[in-house]
A = this chain, B = another copy of it.
Amino acid sequence: MHGNGTSASQNYYHQTSPQRRDTSNESTPTHSAVYQGHQQQRHSFQTSQGSDEDWDDDWDDGVAADEHGGTPEKRGNAQAGYPTTSTSASRRGSAQQSKNTGTVGKNLNRFSTFVKSGGEAFVLGEASGLVRDGDKIFVVMGQYGPEWQENPYPFTCTIDDPTKQTKFKGMKSYMSYGLTPSHTQSQVNRRYKHFDWLYARLVEKFPVISVPHLPEKQATGRFEEDFISKRRKGLIWWMNHMTSHPILSKCDVFQHFLTCSSNDEKAWKQGKRKAEKDDLVGANFFLTICPPALPLDLQEVEGNVDGFKAFTKKMDENIIQLNATIGEFARKQITGFKKEYQRVGQAFRLLSQAFEFDQQVYSAPLNKAMANTGEVYETIGDYFAEQPRQDLEPISDLLAIYQGHLANFPDIIHVQKGALTKAKESQKHGEEKDGIAGGGIHDRCNIISCATLAEIQHFHRVRVRDFKAQMQHFLQQQISFFQKITGKLEEALDMYDQA
């Protein structure tokens, strides 16, 4: 019990990641030149090689190297299900065709998130690709502004306790999670590295969507109960945010991940290759977005995005504060509070033992009742030590996933701001031209803005839902905790009736 407690307290500390950056600093987008640009910073401790599981294990032959930064310059488009199409679309950061639009030029900083995400290429009209009806993503005008069209087939997905698997005759072992999506009711088994692969695909594909971060890797103790339970909880949160997202939840690669039978290796590899060769990623992702009929007032958009930027900064600060506070509160309950109640219990018990020296038969029931009160206080001490696991830890888990989202947004905002800047430039230069070329930029900036505002709207919706649910859970747990204590004390009190 003590061991559990201690580790629960440790859980709280690393959540306040030392890699937090100042989210207000988005004006200097000098990220390292990595493939999946905008999430890299937070994601770096998830994709670093060799720190988790048998990472060099050749779990799939073929293009596996792709996911770790290698960018195939040329891809065949002849895979099953995809019609062959000539496309000039480029992946983010790869060769771009020079197709500059009038007076609006390219950004000089080639490492800017705006450039790397494909946002610039799209705004400048350089993206092109075949968008089938099924690929289309609709932004609709809702009561509170643009929002993603709801997934018409919402589903959830459970994650079972992982089981330890071995291969190579026990030489390698790993944990396997059973996932059961509600829409198939059929379980598939996935390893953490499958999640990690999926995550890389999503980050690559969706420049202005905040892909939830996976729970952290851990170099040692991967098979320890605490770590397993913590990772599972993290994956449940992750899955919950995935299935709640109208766009992420229905995208092909996620569906492949959720539904492809664990036993059909061929189907798995096919789906894997298809995802890795997906053309509608980065700049081309924006091609799939269908905005509402009426374009947005870009000035209004700017105000909204600035407001959201201020909001994320504030929320991020206060999440760090809250996380530190509840971490300390948990630690106090596990150590100090427990100790105090146990000491009081012990003192009562000792006094009852002294009373047993009195040789008076009529004192016996009192002595017994006092000894019991002592035990009850020792138990209450244990309750305090065990409680943070029930109520504070879930809040900490919630804050962790939101810290991840908040770390994603500066880059999302940066893409939108970049688009807006281009649109303004274009407007300035092209006012007289009645917006033929400029109008194209304006439209494309509108698309990026709609997607950004839809993502912001989605963030708020889920945030309100999550914090409401988690605060309710927290308070319910606290209430049962204090009721449990009250019940114990009532038992203790009853014993004095005979005294």
B486 touches A479 (CB 8 A): yes
8 Å CB interface, A322-369 against B: 322, 325-326, 328-329, 332, 336-337, 340, 343-344, 346-348, 350-351, 353-355, 357-363, 366, 369
Interface size counted on chain A using CB atoms at 8 A: 64
Q: How long is the Cα–Cα vector from A184 to B492 in the complex, in angstroms?
A: 39
The verdict on A260 contacting chain B, using a C-beta distance below 8 Å, is no
A131 within 8 A of B: no
| Residues of B close to A337: CB separation below 8 A | 337
Q: Do residues A344 and B325 form an inter-chain contact, with CB atoms below 8 A?
A: yes
Q: With contacts A340-B332, A359-B307, A489-B479 known, is A347 near B325, CB below 8 A?
A: yes
Partner of A343, one of B328, B359, B476: B328
**In contact, B482 and A496 (Cβ under 8 angstroms):** no
- Do A350 and B318 touch across chains, with their CB atoms under 8 A apart? yes
Query: Given the complex, which residues of B lie within 8 Å of A482, measured CB to CB?
Result: 482-483, 485-486, 489
Chain A window 455-496, contacts with chain B (Cβ cutoff 8 Å), 1 for yes, 0 for no:
000001101100110011001101100110110011011001
Instruction: State whether the Cβ of A168 lies closer than 8 Å to any Cβ in chain B.
Output: no
Given contacts A468-B499, A482-B489, contact A332 B336 (CB under 8 A): yes
Asked whether any CB of chain B lies closer than 8 Å to the CB of A319, the reply is yes
Closest CB of chain B to A65's CB: distance in Å? 42
Contact call B499/A314, Cβ cutoff below 8 A: no
Tell me if A289 counts as interface (CB < 8 A to partner B).
no
A315 CB–B CB distance under 8 Å = yes
Pair A350/B362 contact, Cβ less than 8 Å: no
Task: Return chain B residues, CB-CB under 8 Å to A476.
Answer: 493
**Does A60 have its Cβ within 8 Å of any Cβ on chain B?**
no
Quick check: B479 and A354 within 8 Å, CB to CB?
Answer: no
A391, chain B: closest CB distance, angstroms: 11
Closest to A311 in B: B357
Q: What's the nearest-Cβ distance from chain B to residue A69, in Å? A: 36
Is residue A321 within 8 Å, beta carbon to beta carbon, of the partner chain?
yes
* Contact residues, A353-387 vs B (CB, 8 A): 353-355, 357-363, 366, 369-370, 373
Given A366-B464, A471-B370, A475-B373, A357:B325 Cβ within 8 A:
no
Instruction: Please report the C-alpha to C-alpha distance between residue A324 and residue B138 in the assembled complex, in whole angstroms.
Output: 69
Q: How many copies does the complex hold?
A: 2
Residue A160 interfacial (CB < 8 Å): no
Interface of A is mostly: helix
Least distance between A362 CB and chain B CB atoms (Å):
6
Known: A350-B322, A354-B314, A360-B464. A479 touches B493 (CB 8 A): yes
Q: Cβ of A310 < 8 Å from any Cβ of B?
A: yes
- With a CB–CB cut-off of 8 A, which chain B residues contact A319? 351
A144 within 8 A of B: yes
Question: Is A317 close to B, CB under 8 A?
Answer: yes
Q: How far is the CA of A307 from the CA of B317 in the complex (A)?
A: 65
Residue contact A493 to B467, C-beta cutoff 8 Å: no
Nearest B residue to A486 via CB reads: B482
Say yes or no: A361 contacts B144, CB within 8 Å.
yes
Partner of A344, one of B308, B326, B472, B475: B326
In the complex, chain B residues whose CB is within 8 Å of the CB of A359: 304, 307, 311
Closest to A483 in B: B486
Given A343-B329, A358-B311, A496-B472, residue A479 in contact with residue B483 (CB < 8 A): no
Is there contact, CB below 8 Å, between A144 and B351?
A: no
Name the residue of chain B whose CB is nearest to the CB of A350.
B318
Give the residues in chain B near A362, CB-CB below 8 Å: 144, 460-461, 464
Excluding A363-B460, A366-B467, 4 further A-B contacts by CB distance (< 8 Å) are A337-B337, A358-B460, A362-B460, A363-B464
14 contacts between A and B (CB under 8 A): A144-B360, A144-B362, A307-B357, A311-B359, A314-B357, A322-B347, A322-B351, A325-B347, A336-B336, A362-B461, A363-B464, A366-B468, A472-B496, A482-B486
